[in-house]
């Protein structure tokens, strides 16, 4: 079964809108695990507009499944990862003022930088994943950087799914197949939802993990958090 890691950024956004601690981010993380999620993902940004750096440290103490930290590996991010020591770091090349991630790495242009960062994180015993557009020519450079996995950036797939789902997934199939051939595991994330998740899972070879936040939390407003997580898990069953 493909693993589901729930991104809880949106929970932090709601909490921060009013101050205080409602909803309680730590309790939500524990409940997500209790409801069946196999991991928790956070993406702290420099302005801490949702996940705060202290949240990351606090979450590390209570998460019993897999802890995945996403972000652009600037100095502050690297220092945070060194303190938290998550199970996985997903490297994402978003600008400081990005509303949300909108592109994967140019692994050729940034190969030297990625290699250095990945080597450091792996020396700490942390699995690494590179956020990547579905372009086969970027996979070789990702592999040579030393990363364990790539995370396929799925917004283009999601945007075009209702127009032509076969065409929307073709580049992902080719990229994932090649990545598997050269020994890279596959994660995926961004705009995956109950409408497009199963088709993606069924067609991507050796998909290991998906990270889903925005759509799942939106569904939880209508369905309840436990029910929403169970419905996403059902889409990922073999």
3-state secondary structure the chain: CCEEEEECHHHHHHHHHHCCCCCCHHHHHHHHHHCCCCEEEECCCCCCCCCCHHHHHHHHHHCCCEEEEEECCCHHHHHHHHHHCCCEEEECCCCCCCCCCCCCCCCCCCHHHHHHHHHHHHHCCCEEEEEECCCHHHHHHHHHCCCCEEEEECHHHHHHCCCCHHHHHHHHHHHHHHHHHCCCEEEEECCCCCCCHHHHHHHCCCEEEEEECHHHHHHHHHHCHHHHHHHHHHHHCC
- Residue 53 burial by Cβ neighbours in a 10 Å radius (0-12, 13-18, 19+): middle
Q: Give the pairing of strands 185-189 and 207-212.
A: parallel
Q: Which of 50, 66, 151, 190 is flagged as catalytic?
A: 190
Known catalytic membership, residue 79: no
Q: Which of 43, 66, 151, 209 is flagged as catalytic?
A: 43
Known catalytic membership, residue 70: yes
Q: Which of 33, 50, 66, 70 is flagged as catalytic?
A: 70
Active-site positions read 43, 70, 190
């Amino acid at each position: 079964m493909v693993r589901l890691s729930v991104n809880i950024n949106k929970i932090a956004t709601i909490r921060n809108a009013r101050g205080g601690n409602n909803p309680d981010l730590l309790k939500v993380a524990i409940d997500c695990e209790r409801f069946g999620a196999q991991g928790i993902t956070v993406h702290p940004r420099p302005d801490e507009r949702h996940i705060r750096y202290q949240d990351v440290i606090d979450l590390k103490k209570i998460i019993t499944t897999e802890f995945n930290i996403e972000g652009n590996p600037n100095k502050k991010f690297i220092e945070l990862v060194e303190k938290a020591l998550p199970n996985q770091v997903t490297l994402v090349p978003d600008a400081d003022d990005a509303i949300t991630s909108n592109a994967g790495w140019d692994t050729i242009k940034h190969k030297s930088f990625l290699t250095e960062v990945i080597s450091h994180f792996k020396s700490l015993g942390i699995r690494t994943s590179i956020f990547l557009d579905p372009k086969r020519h970027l996979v070789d450079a990702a592999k040579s950087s030393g990363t364990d996995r790539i995370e396929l950036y799925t917004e283009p797939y999601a945007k075009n799914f209702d127009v032509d789902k076969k065409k929307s997934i073709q580049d992902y199939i080719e990229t994932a197949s090649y990545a598997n051939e050269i020994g890279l595991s596959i994660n995926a994330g961004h705009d995956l939802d109950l409408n497009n998740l199963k088709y993606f899972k069924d067609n991507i070879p050796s998909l290991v993990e998906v990270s889903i936040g925005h759509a799942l939390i939106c569904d939880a407003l209508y369905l309840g958090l436990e029910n929403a997580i169970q419905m996403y898990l059902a889409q990922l069953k073999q």
